Amino acid sequence: MLALADGSVWEGVGFGAPARIGGEVVFNTGMTGYPESITDPSYHGQILCQTYPLIGNYGIDPESFESDRPRIAGYIVSEFCETPSHIRSRKTLAAWLRENGVPGIAGIDTRALTRRLRARGVMPGLLDATEDPIDGQTLVRRARRLPDPNARDLSSEVSTPEIRITNPGARRAVVLIDCGTKMNIVRCLAGGGFAVVRVPVATDFSRILDFSPRGIVISNGPGDPMTAAPVIRTVKRLMGAGLPIFGVCFGNQILALAAGASTFKLKFGHRSQNQPCLEEGTRRCHITSQNHGYAVDTRTLPRSWRPWFTNANDGTNEGIRHIRKPFSSVQFHPEACPGPTDTGHLLTEFLESLG
């Protein structure tokens, strides 16, 4: 059973781990890329519903992971495939989730669930995939008592515990502040010929300068950016030092907060691979991959900052940049995985600007 805080109860078939887990229930409308989404640290603390009706048909391939393991709290699908067919598949979705302690539920109307979340907003839920589930109304009462995971500093829970360097022999270095980074950001930066110094989210200003970086990248991550006070303070000091900065997703919000702007929670967020973003000052529209539940309030941007991209669906901010200094960020994922690579050039252009 899946019970939501609004009182609705959804019955289905359990798969994955036989467990009972609570979290914020969100949905993703992507047609492919379920291993990348499941391993994306931005989903930490959330129960993910996939709107695409069949999940698991190409199995699980560790080469497509965006972190070392599943990061979702629980999984909701209409139908999961028990017999995947793909040359790179190493195991089934159900077996992989079971190995990692993640419960799933299948056989429910994910379209109806998604419509409810769109109308009422994302909300706490309790997923019971145990062999002896408790009754639905008891689940509802417990779901309503669940603490809000976004009240915690979730980025510190998924950040690297230690400094890690990729491509250490490179002549130039870029520091990646790991708020819950997807591994394709690391791959893209290293592919640009840089040593990528991945540091914990709470790393202080002076320690970052020890690596003499050409630039700073602030990664994606989960939860409310306002809870990540240490990294906001660090980014403020990095801006004061004039170091080039580029933010991705959560990094867009952190950069805005460091600049003095505000953020707010979206009703149901953007989690998909088909979000259209308009580039300000042009007639160009990019199709982007996204996974976020908070956004920058452009009305609060200081006078020296401008919106860079805007979501064509709901008009929310999708990027900011300073009018003179080398500070910019995007709310979407230019590194993709899953999704379109249309905006991958933004990371390339940032690296090229570092000389």
Q: Which helix (H) or strand (E) holds 274?
A: strand 262-279
Q: Which CA distances in Å does 249 have to 20, 191, 230?
A: 30, 20, 18
Residues 307/279, Cβ–Cβ less than 8 Å: no
What is the Cα 287 distance to its own chain's centre? Answer: 17
List of residues 6+ apart from 147 with CB closer than 8 A: none
Give the active site residues: 249, 333, 335
Token pair, residue 355, equals: 């000389």
Kind and range of the H or E element at 179? Answer: none
Exposure on the CB side of residue 274, measured as CA atoms within 13 A: 5
User: What is the 3-state composition of the chain as percent helix, strand, coil, each rounded to the nearest 5?
Assistant: 25, 30, 40
Query: At a CB cut-off of 8 Å and minimum separation 6, what does 152 contact?
Result: 45, 223, 227
Q: Which helix (H) or strand (E) holds 55?
A: strand 54-55
Distance CA 331, CA 215 (A): 19
Tell me how crowded residue 252 is: count the other CB atoms within 10 A of its CB.
Answer: 30
Q: Which two three-digit tokens encode residue 36?
A: 């990348």
